[in-house]
Structure 1
Amino acid sequence: MAEPTTLTDRDGTGTAPALAPAPAPTAARPPTRRRRRPSAIRLVLRVIAVTYVLALVALPVATVVRYTFADGLVPVLEVLTSPDFVAAARLTLVVAGLAVVVNTVFGVGVGILLARYEFPGRRLLNAVIDLPVSISPIVVGVALILVYGTNGWFGPALEQAGFQVIFAVPGMVLATVIVSLPLVVREVVPTLEEAGVEQEQAAQSLGAGGWARLWRITLPTIKWALAYGVVLSLARSLGEFGAVRVVSGSVAGQSQTLTLFVNDAYQEFGPDAQRAAFAAAFVLMLVAVLFIVVITALRPKEKR
């Protein structure tokens, strides 16, 4: 067996045996994954999922499109230019637009309050915000009538002042605001909590006031979450039916939104009424598809 070599100092004394150089490390190869063939259970589950989605979504949508254009494009254009449809579309945009503005201001303010401050009743406020999600829109409409109706708590005083809420646009806006209340708040609060308060505290230490911090730090931080919540709120407002049906009266040309237009036209007899219902439903579906595209584009990458 070969003896280990020794190193010699300048004075000629021997030192400890020299160690052999360590072998160079080799790069680890990533483990190769074999593609597993889908088992019979996976194939069955996929078929069930696809069939369920097709039956629940694709089939009704295709049916509406088929009946909408069954007689060609001209009857559809006649419906879309009719006075009742135009009035319903205009009222829908007004009610949904006002509701989104109110919910945006409320959502930003309450979101900052819940994410930045501790105060008595914070948990109660947090629970009340989610209340419209858990109760029926019909209950919301009935509650508004009990509060603002002719025999309600504030109804007589408001009528004496010449301000009508129920069976008028204010009641429809109020009902839409309530049913879409949590959508903006629930998008803003997690973003504010994740961002923290360091930037705002630094700006405050440099002399920035509350409004300056809001416009230059808070709003840019939550801009995408706010846009996402606004789109959700607008989509929910345009499609609201139950609460608006209770408080509006659904008078054609006066207090009838697009969803009420579809319901009332479909309940009438005759091919013209049916055609009008399908045409309005087709328009609402197109708007829904547009909102899905916008929401997908605004959704953060980590949530996709």
Structure 2
Amino acid sequence: MTPAVTRAKGQAKPSPAIRWGRRALIAIGILLTLLVIVLPLVAVFAQALSRGWEAYAANITHPETLHAIKLTLLAAAIAVPVNTIFGVCAAWAITRFRFPGRRLLQTLIDIPFAISPVVAGVMYLLLYGTGGWLGAWLYAHDLQVMFSVTAVVLVTVFVTSPFVARELIPFMQAQGTEEEESSMVLGASGWQTFWRVTLPNIQWALIYGVILCNARAMGEFGAVAVVSGNIRGETNTLPLYVQQTFDDYNIAGAFAAASLLATLALFTLVLKTAVEWRRDRLAAVNDRRGSGEWN
């Protein structure tokens, strides 16, 4: 008999009250998941397909829908790389160096988390709008920032800026600096240490942060609604297009566009789960090697 079996047999069985309590908690969790998450998703896809596949395809391939998709992907394609670079640099500076203003930098990174996206949009409007601090100068030089694609990209970068940094900072703090210091002692340069030691060690946290950043970038509504001007076929992202088509009583078109957002969200969830599974599997393999189970 193995020690695991012996321990299992030696454990006292939970009382009936505890067993029923567990079952009740599981049932409540499943029920809330169905009511709050699963059923709304099912309703979106059911309503989107309520008029058949041909109507669904017509709504998806409508020029305004296609433009909204392209602008959403464009904003994410710019915001994610920018915030990836920013997040890695900020996390490296905060966790590896001590400098005046370090804690202030950590606080500033959290500002997009703390304020409403609508407030973020108003901030950019007050700064770059025609009557804003920089708006008059921009207007004099025939430069339009607000109510343009530039504004959409700017606020998307702002609201998604903390995601990569906030995933990396606690991970790198827990990881320590021993390996990097050893690399430097052996003669590696700063860049060599980053590419060969730091980056491989943070790759899973970095990928996880990038996935979350991309999901938020594609789904952002509040800040974009303030600065875009909601110009059809020009500054409409997919979330804004859903609202506009719904306000126009184009219910099928609104739910068709919403189904695209839901599909992107589900894909992001699957990708996130795959990354976590791969990370945990590699961690388990490394633990087995470290414990000598395969020797």
TM-score, length of structure 2 as denominator length: 0.87
1:243 to 2:220 alignment = no
Aligned length: 274
Alignment correspondent of 2:252: 275
1:219 to 2:179 alignment = no
> Pick from 84, 88, 99: which aligns with 1:104?
84
Alignment correspondent of 2:179: 199
| Structure 2 Cα separation of the partners of residues 30 and 41 of structure 1 | 24
Distance of aligned partners of 1:117 and 1:68 in 2 relative to their CA distance in 1, 3 Å threshold: same
| Structure 2 Cα separation of the partners of residues 31 and 101 of structure 1 | 50
1:118 to 2:95 alignment = no
Q: Which ranges in structure 2 are unaligned for 5 or more consecutive residues? A: 284-295
Alignment correspondent of 2:244: 264
Alignment correspondent of 1:147: 127
Letter aligned with residue 75 of structure 2? V
Alignment correspondent of 1:17: none
| Structure 1 Cα separation of the partners of residues 240 and 190 of structure 2 | 44
Alignment correspondent of 1:284: 261
Letter aligned with residue 180 of structure 1? T
| Structure 1 Cα separation of the partners of residues 173 and 21 of structure 2 | 42
Alignment correspondent of 2:54: 74
Select between 56-65 and 235-244 the one with higher mean Cα deviation.
56-65
| Structure 1 Cα separation of the partners of residues 32 and 185 of structure 2 | 57
| Structure 2 Cα separation of the partners of residues 39 and 218 of structure 1 | 46
| Structure 1 Cα separation of the partners of residues 144 and 8 of structure 2 | 72
1:186-211, CA deviations, whole angstroms, 9 ceiling, x for partnerless residues? 11112222332222222223332222
| Structure 2 Cα separation of the partners of residues 140 and 42 of structure 1 | 43
1:86-143, CA deviations, whole angstroms, 9 ceiling, x for partnerless residues? 1110011101110111100100000101101111121111111112112110000001
- Among all aligned residue pairs of Structure 1 and Structure 2, give the percentage whose two residues are the same amino acid: 41
1:64 to 2:57 alignment = no
Letter aligned with residue 51 of structure 1? L
Question: What RMSD, in angstroms, separates the aligned Cα atoms of the two structures?
Answer: 2.0
1:260 positional shift:
0.5
| Structure 2 Cα separation of the partners of residues 30 and 229 of structure 1 | 40
Structure whose alpha-carbon radius of gyration is higher: 1
Letter aligned with residue 263 of structure 1? Q
1:138-176, CA deviations, whole angstroms, 9 ceiling, x for partnerless residues? 000001101111111111222333332211112111111
Letter aligned with residue 253 of structure 1? G
1:254 positional shift:
0.3
Distance of aligned partners of 1:207 and 1:86 in 2 relative to their CA distance in 1, 3 Å threshold: same
Select between 96-105 and 59-68 the one with higher mean Cα deviation.
59-68
1:58-95, CA deviations, whole angstroms, 9 ceiling, x for partnerless residues? 22111111111111111011111110011110011101
TM-score, length of structure 1 as denominator length: 0.85
Higher-RCO chain (CA-CA 8 Å, sequence separation at least 6): 2
| Structure 2 Cα separation of the partners of residues 283 and 90 of structure 1 | 12
1:220 positional shift:
1.4
| Structure 1 Cα separation of the partners of residues 174 and 28 of structure 2 | 38
Superposed structure 1 runs of 4+ greater than 6 Å apart = none
Q: Which ranges in structure 1 are unaligned for 5 or more consecutive residues? A: 1-26
Alignment correspondent of 1:54: 34
Letter aligned with residue 264 of structure 1? Q
Q: Which has the higher helix share?
A: 2
Letter aligned with residue 266 of structure 2? V
| Structure 1 Cα separation of the partners of residues 233 and 168 of structure 2 | 37
Q: Secondary structure at the match of 1:30?
A: helix
1:252-276, CA deviations, whole angstroms, 9 ceiling, x for partnerless residues? 110000000101001112xxx2111
| Structure 2 Cα separation of the partners of residues 254 and 122 of structure 1 | 40
Is residue 167–residue 206 contact of structure 2 (8 Å, CA) maintained in 1? yes
